[in-house]
Amino acid sequence: IALTNEIMPYLTQLKGQFTQYQLNHISGFTSVHTMRFYELLTQYKRVGQRYITIEDLKKWLQLEDKYNLWAELQRWVIKPSLNEINEKSDLFVEYEPIKKGRKVTGIEFSITYEKPVKKRPAFPHKNKYGNFVKFNAQDPKFSSHEYSVYAKDCLKILDDFYSGLADVALEDLVFYAKFLAVNQSHKSKFGKERDIWTELKKRGYKLSQYELVEIPKNQIDFVE
């Protein structure tokens, strides 16, 4: 994802505050407003609730002199930011405008952490493909033809289920690497096998004969 000149400095600033897991999510945000919202709301993810006045919210978002009408603030800042947070991050946020008289003076946020994870559809049973559905971990290109056919069907299931590489479960990243290794002409929507290895490294892992191995923190920069 290409990040704008506005977002990159802010993302760099946040690197010291968030885990790599969180950064994988927020690096997909397209707006600084979304990032600032996430920075605010993630502080209260364990509490689950957060009330903030419109005045304080605009200060936090650095919008003191903009969007003076509630309808504009909601349309151009709040809704797009929360939609992006709900779609791309580990938070799910709902909100309710709080009025004093007829004027909206604050917002009550409800924050759900660790959203319920939808279960990936099961892979087809290997018996469907014959008796020689074998993966060669030492040299995947010598895996059986039956395994290659099986892997293509499994890749479609993975591609259909996941919307972003940062959302892919760790065990499914291993499957991605194996399936792409035996189907080198196939391109997943997330790229080639090398792109999967790069994502694993971001999370602090590598593969040894396609088994997951945690990388010691002091060695991460030396892993290709």
CA distance 166 to 87: 12
Q: What are phi and psi of 191, to 5 degrees?
A: 110, -155
Q: What are phi and psi of 44, to 5 degrees?
A: -115, 15
**Which domains occur in the chain, in start order?**
7-113 (1.10.10.10), 126-222 (no CATH)
Please give the pLDDT value at position 115: 58
pLDDT tens digits for 91-120? 999 999 999 999 999 999 999 986 556 789
Across the beta sheet with 91-100, what order do the strands follow? Answer: 49-53, 103-113, 91-100
Please give the pLDDT value at position 189: 87
Please give the pLDDT value at position 113: 82
Please give the pLDDT value at position 78: 97
- The low-confidence residues of the chain, meaning pLDDT below 50, are 1-3
pLDDT tens digits for 2-33? 345 555 555 556 555 566 656 666 777 888 89
Please give the pLDDT value at position 215: 84
CA distance 134 to 150: 10
Matching residue, tokens 């007829």: 102
Neighbours of 154 (CB within 10 A): 20
Please give the pLDDT value at position 15: 56
